Amino acid sequence: LGGSVFPKLNWSAPKDSAWISTSATLRCTTFSEIALLFRASDSLVHDLCHAYDSCQDKSSSRPHNFFLALRKWYPSLKPEMEFRCFVRNHKLIGISQREVTTFYPVLVEKKDDLLLQIQGFFNNCVRTKFELENYAFDIYVTNNERVKIVDFNTWGGFTLSLLFTWDELEHIHSEEEDDVEFRIVEDRCGVRPGLKTAVPYDYLDTSSGSGWDQFLRNADEELRQQSRSTEAGA
């Protein structure tokens, strides 16, 4: 690939399969690493087979074309500086810390300043230029306090609501233009499980009849056969 990349399809990145990577990240340097992440990702299977299932006016279950996007991998990016913003009726109503599996003290210290920066960016650069009425978008705040768009997401459906629930977001009624609810993980007790910490159930299931149970049975049987062969040869 000529360097390190972050792979994704039209909409989703295979964040739910990061557990299978040797680095526990989505950093890829070869096509085989990309293929491994994609094959293990339920998020991408949803995009490939059921992307439009939550749309009321759908004419098919999936897009006709798919695109593989390879973004340059930036190891210096700070996960605590990525946020998801929720827009309803063209108003920014909620902002959530994107990486909810970790408590970052710096966010508590800079919360008010970050809110002003994100609100200003939305009003000046997004609100009048993005036509949808309801949507979510991800942003990153750089070291020099510049705000950059990472991605846009659909409202509801399979877009993660993170520190909100979709029911909460549906019922937030903001009378004031600048009345935005900004949620971060306030302490270590507030961290939540995330896709990057998830593994398939089959990976943990060791009950009778499970994949691991069958694997261990086969391994024991093969070991017994090898022992018998060794004894017969002696």
What pLDDT score was predicted for residue 204? 56
Evaluate if residue 17 carries a pLDDT over 60: yes
Q: How many domains does the chain have?
A: 2
What CATH number is given to the structural domain containing 109? 3.30.470
* pLDDT one-digit tens code per residue, 127-155: 999 999 999 999 999 999 999 999 998 89
**pLDDT mean over 160-185:** 84
168 confidence band (pLDDT: 50, 70, 90): very high
What is the total residue count of the chain?
234
User: Which domain-ending residue is among 25, 41, 73?
Assistant: 73
Backbone angles phi, psi at 21, to 5 degrees: -80, 145
What pLDDT score was predicted for residue 91? 94
**Residue 87 structural domain:** 76-193
Q: What is the 3-state secondary structure (H, E, C) of the chain?
A: CCCCEEEECCCCCCHHHHHHCCCCCCCECCHHHHHHHHHCCHHHHHHHHHCCCCCCCCCCCCCCCCCCEEEECCCCCCHHHEEEEEEECCEEEEEEECCCCCCCHHHHHHHHHHHHHHHHHHHHHHCCCCCCCCEEEEEEECCCCCEEEEEEECCCCCCCCCCCCHHHHHCCCCCCCCCCEEECCCCHHHCCCCHHHCCCHHHHCCCCCCHHHHHHHHHHHHHHHHHHHHHHHC
* pLDDT one-digit tens code per residue, 99-131: 998 999 999 999 999 999 999 999 999 999 999
User: Which domain-ending residue is among 36, 52, 73?
Assistant: 73
Q: Is residue 203 part of a domain?
A: no
Residues 98 and 159 in one domain: yes
Q: Is residue 133 part of a domain?
A: yes
6 confidence band (pLDDT: 50, 70, 90): very high
What pLDDT score was predicted for residue 219? 82
Q: What is the mean pLDDT of the chain?
A: 86
Q: Is residue 49 part of a domain?
A: yes
**pLDDT mean over 163-189:** 85
**pLDDT mean over 64-84:** 91
Q: Is residue 199 part of a domain?
A: no
